[in-house]
């Protein structure tokens, strides 16, 4: 198959879940013998010209961003127009069998080339998060996202919840949507019996963003830590509130009670190997996110066989069976988060049971080995039914 994946945050560019997933998918399918091209705008990079180079068997094409002195709406329109135009140009030179685009920011709102399948993968459009979290909408961005979904010939989503809510909000309830959970490399994120568990270590791994529940977790720590000598919280993740220019991290530090600041560590963004090492040592991993479409970090912690506390909102119950493969919390209630953390810390045997069951869930639900084949099979079905 010849496949083009649209991705502005393809590593090593600054990236989140979409970038990581796109890299895993592109490199995995390229290793299986398929021809993969990744196309994106270098919005957060400095290149002044088109970069077109191989990377681990994948052709990666990065278009230069618009000048930063342009007004934001002009830049947004130019980036969308330029990317769509270049996708058509690449297709004319050597036709793709399928184009994949994320729903986020609606980069292929102009639609695919004629008679070419376009798969839009639902992983969290801004119109979804703005609605669920009651945020101020960017209506131009929403229009791109809605148009991209409506012009897709095929749809996939990382969870049943994400599929249902996105299609409801877009007025596309009757459209079929394949549910393909995001993947975890369970051979990398795996337990290591030689690494001792720190019985007092509470771990958070995620970006520093209000929607991830970090503020409520810090409030829970302010409640819990004074009662438990030897207990500490480690926060792994970078401040991604770019509009606040680093001030959000300082606000989080200030939220910690002064007498507890030596027991709450902000470790920053870390490489995957170090993230895995922290997970292996944790007595409990806590992810009180207000809303997700899947939840990669909780799934990685489950794969490491650590007990996980995740949100009962959104797709949380699809990933975790409460009391069996982990625990679910109300992410808006710091007292409940603290109570569940204490429950795990007080019962290491229960934590070990939850961790072992969580790893088994990941091995059968979203291990990378099955995920790549599932995606290849779905691509083949999309290609077999091109649009008229």
pLDDT tens per residue, range 319-377: 999 999 999 999 999 999 999 999 999 999 999 999 999 999 999 998 888 899 999 99
* Residue 14 confidence (pLDDT) above 90: no
Given a contact cutoff of 8 angstroms between Cβ atoms, the answer to whether 189 and 205 are in contact is no
Three-state DSSP class for residue 62 = strand
Closest CA to 329 of 221, 320, 282: 320
Mean pLDDT over the full length of the chain: 94
Q: Is the dihedral of CA 25, 27, 33, 38 positive or negative?
A: positive
Q: What pLDDT shows up at residue 376?
A: 96
Q: Give the Cα separation of 383 and 112 in Å (integer).
A: 13
Q: How many residues does the chain have?
A: 388
* Residue 89 confidence (pLDDT) above 90: yes
* Residue 200 confidence (pLDDT) above 90: yes
Q: Give the Cα separation of 280 and 335 in Å (integer).
A: 26
For residue 227 the two structure tokens come to: 């009662």
Three-state DSSP class for residue 6 = strand
Closest CA to 104 of 43, 18, 190: 18
The DSSP letter of residue 176 is -
* Residue 68 confidence (pLDDT) above 90: no
CA dihedral defined by 189, 204, 286, 240, rounded to 10 degrees?
-100
Residues 253, 256, 261: CA angle, nearest 5 degrees:
80
**Mean pLDDT along residues 97-121:** 96
All structural domains of the chain: 2-183+368-384 (3.40.50.2000), 201-365 (3.40.50.2000)
Given a contact cutoff of 8 angstroms between Cβ atoms, the answer to whether 288 and 309 are in contact is yes
Q: What pLDDT shows up at residue 153?
A: 97
Q: What pLDDT shows up at residue 235?
A: 97
Q: What pLDDT shows up at residue 388?
A: 73
Given a contact cutoff of 8 angstroms between Cβ atoms, the answer to whether 281 and 197 are in contact is yes
């Amino acid at each position: 198959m010849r496949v083009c994946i649209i991705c502005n945050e393809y590593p090593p560019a600054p990236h989140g879940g979409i970038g990581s997933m796109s890299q895993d998918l592109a490199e995995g399918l390229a290793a299986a013998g398929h021809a993969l091209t990744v196309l994106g705008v270098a919005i957060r990079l400095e290149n002044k010209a088109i970069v077109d180079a191989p990377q681990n068997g994948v052709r990666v094409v990065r278009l230069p961003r618009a000048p930063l002195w342009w007004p934001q709406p002009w830049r947004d329109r130019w980036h969308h127009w330029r990317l769509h135009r270049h996708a058509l140009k690449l297709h004319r030179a050597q036709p793709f069998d399928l184009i994949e685009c994320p729903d986020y920011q609606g980069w292929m709102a102009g639609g695919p080339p004629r008679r070419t399948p376009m798969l839009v993968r639902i992983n969290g459009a801004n119109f979804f998060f703005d609605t669920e979290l009651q945020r101020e909408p960017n209506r131009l961005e929403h229009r791109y996202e809605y148009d991209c979904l409506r012009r897709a010939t095929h749809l996939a989503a990382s969870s049943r919840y994400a599929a249902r809510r996105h299609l409801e909000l877009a007025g596309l309830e009757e459209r079929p949507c394949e549910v393909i959970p995001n993947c975890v490399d369970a051979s990398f994120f795996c337990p290591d019996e030689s690494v001792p568990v720190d019985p007092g270590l509470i771990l958070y791994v995620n970006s520093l963003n209000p929607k991830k529940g970090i503020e409520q977790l810090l409030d829970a720590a302010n409640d819990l830590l004074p009662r438990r000598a030897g207990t500490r919280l480690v926060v792994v993740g970078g401040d991604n509130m770019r509009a606040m220019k680093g001030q959000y991290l300082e606000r989080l530090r200030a939220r910690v009670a002064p007498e507890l600041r030596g027991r709450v560590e902000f470790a920053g963004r870390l490489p995957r190997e170090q993230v895995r090492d922290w997970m292996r040592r944790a007595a409990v991993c806590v992810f009180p996110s207000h809303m997700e479409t899947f939840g990669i970090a909780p799934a990685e912690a489950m794969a490491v066989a650590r007990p996980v506390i995740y949100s009962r909102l959104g797709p949380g119950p699809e990933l975790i069976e409460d009391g069996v493969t982990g625990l679910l919390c109300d992410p808006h209630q710091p007292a409940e988060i603290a109570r569940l953390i204490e429950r795990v810390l007080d019962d290491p045997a229960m934590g070990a049971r939850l961790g072992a069951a969580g790893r088994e869930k990941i091995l059968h639900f979203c291990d990378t080995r099955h995920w790549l084949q599932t995606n290849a099979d779905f691509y083949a079905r999309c290609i077999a039914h091109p649009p008229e």
